[in-house]
């Protein structure tokens, strides 16, 4: 399959796709994005992703690149041109192309880029063993609820985690609370058996997977509390896991080198992984732990 990129109006072979060096995404990280998974060409939770994209755009006062359902149509067309069983659709919108000056330029149109690639979901070893996370201070700006392409603190945190042999970095806030991962949401099952995750306020990104997992937990009688939890609490939690569009529901079995409970994926984590995979129409193997 030769990959294409949609760049403001047309599909081009990926290698030929270009934006200007004066794209404000390139110069100022002045843009937003979405990552959406698709199965057999059908994007999952597309409405939720497009609603979050709209919110990110409006928070930054970037006009929509396309009106009405046109964005959805282009996204579906991008998937149609990449026949894959499991795909990841990437949408990026920047404020546009203009001579470099910090304040918003007048009269520019936003730039829309769409790409598709094969999805890489966690492999069997990660699912069965769980993954390790390393904690780091949350050095991001004050609005990580906006899905901005300005990801330097996330990049540095992920790199530090990778160098420590960990799959993900958990970002710790000023009160010692676990906010979220560099590219995922963070969860524990506390000492009372309740599922706990940080509230979707301005301190974290409201993950789409997070919203689906919350709904699944509530629908299946798992008690859920949206509240900040501390690193100390996480270290003595019964279970821990992370969620994202590409990581699905993934057990966390080591935090800063210490085992979570007995170091094995927990029962609630396994149940939610199964429910989430089934809800997405993913094969059962993606929930085998």
Ligand X SMILES: Cc1ncc(COP(=O)(O)O)c(C=O)c1O
Q: Which is nearer to ligand X, 52 or 254 (CB)?
A: 52
Query: CB of residue 250 vs ligand X: minimum separation in angstroms?
Result: 11
Q: Which is nearer to ligand X, 210 or 238 (CB)?
A: 210
Q: Which is nearer to ligand X, 96 or 250 (CB)?
A: 250
Query: CB of residue 140 vs ligand X: minimum separation in angstroms?
Result: 8
Residues lying near ligand X in the complex (CB under 6 A) are found at: 35, 180, 183-185, 205, 207-210, 243-245
- The closest alpha carbon to 32, from 7, 57, 50, belongs to 57
Rounded to 5 degrees, what are φ and ψ at 117?
Answer: -140, 165
Query: CB of residue 111 vs ligand X: minimum separation in angstroms?
Result: 21
Q: Which is nearer to ligand X, 243 or 253 (CB)?
A: 243
CA distance 17 to 71: 19
What's the angle, vertex CA 193, arms to CA 235 and CA 204, rounded to 5?
Answer: 60
- The closest alpha carbon to 243, from 221, 262, 259, 224, belongs to 224
Strand bridging mode 239-244 / 248-255? antiparallel
- For the CA atoms of 205, 282, 217, 134, the dihedral, rounded to the nearest 10 degrees, stands at -50
- The closest alpha carbon to 94, from 151, 28, 47, belongs to 28
Residue 107: burial class (beta carbons within 10 Å; 0-12, 13-18, 19+): exposed
Q: Which is nearer to ligand X, 6 or 187 (CB)?
A: 187
Query: CB of residue 35 vs ligand X: minimum separation in angstroms?
Result: 6
Query: CB of residue 184 vs ligand X: minimum separation in angstroms?
Result: 5
- The closest alpha carbon to 229, from 260, 250, 257, 208, belongs to 260
Residue the block writes with tokens 């300005």: 150
Active-site residues, by number, are: 147
**Chain residue at closest Cβ approach to ligand X:** 207
């Amino acid at each position: 399959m030769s990959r294409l990129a949609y760049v403001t109006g047309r599909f081009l072979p990926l290698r030929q796709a270009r934006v200007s060096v004066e794209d404000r995404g390139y110069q100022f990280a002045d843009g937003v994005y979405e990552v959406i998974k698709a199965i057999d060409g059908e994007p999952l939770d597309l409405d939720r992703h497009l609603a979050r994209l709209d919110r990110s755009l409006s928070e930054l006062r970037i006009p929509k690149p396309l009106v009405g359902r046109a964005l959805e149509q282009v996204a579906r067309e991008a998937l149609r041109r990449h026949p894959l069983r499991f795909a990841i659709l990437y949408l990026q919108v920047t404020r546009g192309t203009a001579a470099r000056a910090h304040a918003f330029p007048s009269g520019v149109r936003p730039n829309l880029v769409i790409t598709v690639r094969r999805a890489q979901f966690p492999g069997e070893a990660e699912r069965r063993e769980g993954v390790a996370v390393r904690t780091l201070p949350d050095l991001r700006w004050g609005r990580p609820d906006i899905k901005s392409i300005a990801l330097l603190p996330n990049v540095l945190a992920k790199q530090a985690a990778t160098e420590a042999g960990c799959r993900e970095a958990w970002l710790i806030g000023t009160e010692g609370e676990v906010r979220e991962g560099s590219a995922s949401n963070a969860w524990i099952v506390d000492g009372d058996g309740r599922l706990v995750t940080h509230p979707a306020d301005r301190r974290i990104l409201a993950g789409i997977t997070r919203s689906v997992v919350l709904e699944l937990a509530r629908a299946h009688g798992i008690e859920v509390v949206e509240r900040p939890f501390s690193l100390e609490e996480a270290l003595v939690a019964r279970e821990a896991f992370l969620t994202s569009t590409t990581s699905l529901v993934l057990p966390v079995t080591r935090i800063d080198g210490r085992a979570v409970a007995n170091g094995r994926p927990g029962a609630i984590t396994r149940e939610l992984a199964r429910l989430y995979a089934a809800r997405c129409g993913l094969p059962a193997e993606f929930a085998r732990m």
